[in-house]
Amino acid sequence: MNDRLLDTDTDDSVRLSVDEAQALGEKALIKLGYTPEEATIVATHLVDASMWGYEFAGLPRILVIADRPELKKPRTAVSIVKESPVSALLDGGNQVGYITLSHATDVAIEKVRSSGVAVIGLRNSWFAGRNAYYLEKIARAGFAAVYFGSSTPSVVPQGAIRKALGTNPMAIALPGKVNPFIFDMGTASVMSGEVLMKAFLGESFPHVVGVDKEGQPTSVAQDLLEGGILPFGGHKGYGLSLTIQALGLMAGSRFRNGDVSDFGYLLIAFDPGLLMPAEQFTSELQELLTKVKELPRQPGVPEIRIPSERGFREREIRRKQGILVNKRVVERLQQMS
């Protein structure tokens, strides 16, 4: 047990055990119209995000879900529109992505087990949550995965003053000796969930990350919602974001509302055994990661970290210490439930 608290308690936060956070989330989600089973799927994902250290991607997301117009429209079960032994196009039935992508992940694993490869598209859904959450399940099943997620406009293309792209994340997961290797990134300068959280709290970013509705540079979260976020890394981030938006079309993103800029998810998974013995791959991957971590370090650098290493480590600590949730968020969820 790590005696030092990973997160510092403040007057604006509430420390909840994992079970308390799960129960609070499930009750609020059921009040929003989700079945107990659906509420468990969503809440488990959100609590796991908090344990990884992403507070804005945790229970606060329920408040965002509650305000989404999709909740007022009919929802149907996830269905398969088109299928082959190595592929499937799924219709999310206007369900939130936490539910639909969990289903898509299960389909991908099943197809890789039977055919070695899976190409999965998912349309008519919204909000994906942490992409690494789904890919971890695939990697722990012994498979590799690549994921692309397009979304509704919140990002301003380089040189423009109006948003046309989503935050458009991509992720890669590889099976490992102990934990998977997972690289998960968004192509926007900041995550949309972080913008929503700061806007809810009336906060700003420490530096300019986007433009307001007039196209002027801003760091104010509320202004970013009315204007747009910038891509990360200049033209490179913009190019990657546009590419992922295009890949979303292949998954059927236009089906939802007729717009070429919308939610679409493309997942490719495969068995490393198609190319080499699986144990050989995981051994060579471990050798590579160890080699990187044991490199001489620059002055003041305590360790060379591997993507997702911090998250795996902190998840186990917070599993024991609990998670911090903004007090206003807890109060709103309690009122809902």
Domain ranges, ordered by start, for the chain: 13-70+310-336, 79-188+231-274
Report the distance separating Cα 199 and Cα 36, nearest Å.
Answer: 30
Mode of pairing for the β-strands spanning 117-126 and 228-229: unpaired
Query: Does the pTM of the predicted model rise above 0.75?
Result: yes
**Residue-level pLDDT at 253:** 97
Q: Which element (helix H / strand E) includes 146? A: strand 144-150
Amino acid at 16: L
3-state secondary structure of 285: helix
- Please report how many Cα atoms fall inside a 13 Å half-sphere around the Cα of residue 208, on the Cβ side: 9
> Hunting for tokens 């055994």 — which residue is that?
273
Nearest to 310 by CA among 34, 67, 52: 52
Report the distance separating Cα 149 and Cα 226, nearest Å.
Answer: 22
Amino acid at 196: L
DSSP 160-227: -SS--B----EEEEE--SSS-EEEEE-SBSS-HHHHHHHHHHT-B-SS--EE-TTS-EE-BHHHHHHS
CATH of domain 13-70+310-336: 1.10.1530.10
Q: Sheet holding 170-174: strands in order across?
A: 79-84, 87-96, 117-126, 264-270, 144-150, 170-174, 181-185
Report the distance separating Cα 331 and Cα 337, nearest Å.
Answer: 10
Please provide the average confidence, as pLDDT, over all residues in the chain.
Answer: 95
Report the distance separating Cα 131 and Cα 64, nearest Å.
Answer: 18
Report the distance separating Cα 17 and Cα 287, nearest Å.
Answer: 37
Average pLDDT over every residue of 28-57: 96
**Residue-level pLDDT at 1:** 45
pLDDT over 70, % of the chain: 99
Average pLDDT over every residue of 19-43: 98
**Residue-level pLDDT at 227:** 93
Torsions phi, psi for 16 (to 5 deg): -115, 145
Q: Which element (helix H / strand E) includes 133? A: helix 131-140
> What region, left, alpha or beta, does residue 175 occupy, with left being phi > 0 and alpha being psi -120 to 50 degrees?
beta
pLDDT reading at 3 higher than 70? no
Q: Please write the tens of the pLDDT for every residue from 283-312.
A: 999 999 999 999 999 999 999 999 999 999
> Does CATH number 1.10.260.40 belong to domain 79-188+231-274?
no
Q: Please write the tens of the pLDDT for every residue from 170-223.
A: 999 999 999 999 999 999 999 887 898 888 889 999 999 999 999 999 999 999
